[in-house]
Structure 1
Amino acid sequence: MVGSSAGTLRVASRIAIVGGGIGGLAAAAFLHRAGLPSVVYEQTPQLREVGAGLVLAPNAVRLLRRLGAMDRLRDRAVPLDVGWEFRRWADGRVLSAENLAGSCERLYGERTYTVHRADLAHAIGAAVPPDAVQLGKRCTSVTVRGDTAELAFADGTSAEADVVIGADGVHSTVRGAMIEPATATYSGICAFRALVPADRAPGFARRRAQTLWIGPGHHLVHYPISGETAVNLVAFAPAGDYTVESWSATATVEEFLAEFAGWDPRLQELIKGAGTPGRWALLDRAPLGRWSHGPVTLLGDAAHPMFPFFAQGAAQSIEDAAALARCLAQDTHAPARALQRYESLRIGRTTRLQEVSHARAHVNHLPDGPEQEARDASLAGADPLVASGWIYAYDAEAEETARV
């Protein structure tokens, strides 16, 4: 287990980031912007982002803009005109919708966008020096030695660092070295994801809208990505005995269709246009009580894996990266203290998002009946853009500065 330390961050600071996904690259980019060099150790032989689309809300966009990433996404990110367009499963009747085109920017200073994960990773990675990323480096262990930590890799090499940032995802090796492993519980929900080329998608799905179809035990979300050349689908259904938690696992279009049999025929048409769907089980993990131990900390899904029902997983990794870079830059002589400060700034917010995301599954999946009718009436009178102000108005860098 990793013990605590109050060491000194050296002038030629050695900061190791384990994991080259969105969170790890964002950490390297924000650290570079703060004048702190780092090295990203990524296990794959080339940088790539599996998966498909994601939503970039204002809390992430304002941070990405400071990295120059939004300029690089200009032709790929899709600004949403409509969000939270809830539709009834059987006939597509719109239960509620939010106009984002003007109100989002007026309230929060930024639009909401949709983007392919690969495009986002490329845009963030462009803000990282090329020699700061080492590929084919699968971390197998982390050992603290006084004020430093040693990383061991599967290829037999090792590296010493003054700070280690575990951005290695839900199955984090770094987390496993820091705390006793907690058993993930079975959520009973699995997710499908797929891309539909725009020329094979019905017109309603090509709009600049984030649409959620909700029904008994299921819901499905779609929106355009990749410069409006494709439509992203992500859907949630009962898992049965399916327990594979992997972004690389796949299903068939027929299995995807079967889960939504009897739903609006237009939705069936959309699913039929998809390529090979991915499928993974959502496993439930309780929020961690601590992330940082001596010179080692966690970031993103390694620290706070959350259900995707608030579309904030990537955004919270980006917020983590921005806050962590500020903390280290402002306390270079005491990295352990800086990491503890980072944890104290972030853990309450991410825990709250984990909890509200978890609760949303029940609301979206209500069977038809009185409770569903009450939910639908509530949706019709809601203003989710204003209600989510605690998420979207937040500035991770300003928050860190305010509490120095």
Structure 2
Amino acid sequence: MPRPAPSPAPPEVRMERQTRIAIVGAGLAGLTLAGLLQRAGFTVALYEQAAAFARIGAGIILSPNVSKVLRRLDIEDELATTGIRPDAFVSRAWDTGRTLYELRFDPAAEAHFDGYFINIHRADLHDVLQKPLAPGTIQFGHQLAGLEPRGEAIRLRFANGATAEADIVIGADGIRSRVRDAILGKEEPRFTGRIAPRAVFPTERIPGPMIRDCTKWWGPDRHVLTYFMTPRRDEVYVMGAVPAERWDGGDSFVPGSREDFIEAFAHFHADLRRVMEAATDVTVWPIHDRPRNDRWSEGAIGLMGDACHAVRPFMAAGGAMAIEDAMILSRCLARFETAEEAFATYAALRIPRVAEVQRISIENSWMHGPTEVDWFFGYDPSIVELIPAAASAPLKTAGAASARPATA
């Protein structure tokens, strides 16, 4: 489907382009923000603690609200052909297999929401997100060790002994953000009582008829999502969420048991069991979040993505919120004269929307049955009006009267 030309963004006052911006973390949020800021003329350095990107993790779902952002980087069409444009999102009952809800992703839906629905491997998404960046933007092997004021600038210290200076620092370094620690103090993420067993394997291993492009199976205390990640439909991604009393696996994933993976869903419908039984290697990931805290910046240091609003993966919206953050924050930095004004307006715009996504994700109700989806899929952060917010003003949030920390 040919994409329409992007709607013109509102005119914005340009911050001085000699402003040096350091982004910590080269995940979805950091890569997108770096590309958008460079297009606006800023000098950007992106620091990533990993030595290189690796093909770990698994799939991610990109909805039209994300596609509209990636269109501004001229990579929407490439992502749509690298990943798969699924035919629909299907919700099914765990026991009877009955279809609870089906949202078709046909040309009419793409036109209505003005964007593609795309399922893609995270590593492939990373590869495409790097393409708009200037050579040398990403500095690998740079784990942040500390931030220090240096006159009008901020000094970044890294575990490898390197240092750098910037006028603005943005933490896009995930749920265990070191930039967040500098603003809010060190706090451990909260284990949610759920773990996520995952597997990726060839479609040809699944006996019987071809499965649908994207299906979520809903059980009383657990669920599982299955989908393809390329238009070839030759590889399947399966991710479950099951109860767990504790997590002793450290910060990352651990190897899982194929037998435990199958057993966790042995009481589900036969259509799902034949998929689960085709799995080979399994990894198990903890599901963490944090109590909500609406303090997203301090001075010229700000946060985005999971660094400030970790989202449970039950709405497939964590990546979407990070990429939306990147668009709104890049526009605010381009428009306002100071970092404080930019961060205040960015937070005032983003907190109510993210709070609702966090609420629905905790509830785990998204598209379980007939659902109003226009507010989510139809949103375009590239043209939302930037209503200035005073840096010292309280941020009005859904169900909260001020920017004081709140739990969700």
TM-score range relative to shorter protein: 0.7 to 0.9
Counterpart position of 1:369: none
**Aligned counterpart for 2:59 among listed residues 49, 53, 62:** 53
**What RMSD in Å do the two structures reach over aligned CA positions?**
2.3
Greater CA drift, 233-242 or 120-129: 233-242
Greater CA drift, 164-173 or 219-228: 219-228
For residues 279-319 of structure 1, the C-alpha deviation after alignment (integer angstroms, 9 at most, x for no partner) is 12222312222101111001111111111111111111111
Gaps of 5+ in 2: 1-13, 390-408
Q: Secondary structure at the match of 2:279?
A: coil
**Aligned counterpart for 2:239 among listed residues 229, 234, 239:** 234
CA distance in 1, matches of 2:210, 2:381: 33
Is this contact kept in 1: 2:22–2:166, CA < 8 A? yes
Counterpart position of 1:66: 72
Q: Is the aligned partner of 1:127 residue 2:132?
A: yes
Output the TM-score relative to the length of structure 1.
0.87
Is this contact kept in 2: 1:141–1:152, CA < 8 A? yes
CA distance in 2, matches of 1:250, 1:393: 38
Is this contact kept in 2: 1:190–1:237, CA < 8 A? yes
For residues 340-382 of structure 1, the C-alpha deviation after alignment (integer angstroms, 9 at most, x for no partner) is 222222122112211111111xx59xxxxxxxxxx98xx2xx2
Cα distance change, pair 44–286 in 1 and its aligned pair in 2 (3 A): same
Counterpart position of 2:399: none
Residue type at the aligned position of 2:375: W
Cα distance change, pair 297–37 in 1 and its aligned pair in 2 (3 A): same
For residues 59-87 of structure 1, the C-alpha deviation after alignment (integer angstroms, 9 at most, x for no partner) is 0011112212223224322112111x121
Counterpart position of 1:338: 342
Which runs of 4 or more aligned residues in structure 1 lie more than 6 Å from their structure 2 counterparts after TM superposition? Answer: none
Q: Is the aligned partner of 1:286 residue 2:271?
A: no
Greater CA drift, 152-161 or 85-94: 85-94
Q: Is the aligned partner of 1:396 residue 2:381?
A: yes
Is this contact kept in 2: 1:345–1:400, CA < 8 A? no
- The alpha-carbon deviation at position 252 of structure 1 amounts to 1.9
Between 1 and 2, higher relative CO (CA 8 Å, sep ≥ 6) is seen in 1
Cα distance change, pair 44–169 in 1 and its aligned pair in 2 (3 A): same
Q: Secondary structure at the match of 1:349?
A: helix
Residue type at the aligned position of 1:207: R
Is this contact kept in 1: 2:25–2:174, CA < 8 A? yes
CA distance in 1, matches of 2:354, 2:288: 17
- Count of aligned pairs: 375
Cα distance change, pair 49–142 in 1 and its aligned pair in 2 (3 A): farther
Counterparts of 1:196-345 in structure 2, within 5 Å, are 196-202=201-207, 206-208=211-213, 210-227=214-231, 228-244=233-249, 246-331=251-336, 333-345=337-349
Residue type at the aligned position of 2:343: L
Per residue, is there more helix in 1 or in 2?
A: 1
Residue type at the aligned position of 2:70: L
Residue type at the aligned position of 1:339: F
Is this contact kept in 1: 2:47–2:143, CA < 8 A? yes
Is this contact kept in 2: 1:206–1:231, CA < 8 A? no
Is this contact kept in 1: 2:199–2:239, CA < 8 A? yes
**Aligned counterpart for 2:21 among listed residues 15, 22, 26:** 15
Greater CA drift, 309-318 or 195-204: 195-204
Cα distance change, pair 182–292 in 1 and its aligned pair in 2 (3 A): same
Counterpart position of 1:372: none
Cα distance change, pair 284–168 in 1 and its aligned pair in 2 (3 A): closer
Cα distance change, pair 288–94 in 1 and its aligned pair in 2 (3 A): same
CA distance in 2, matches of 1:100, 1:301: 28
Output the TM-score relative to the length of structure 2.
0.86
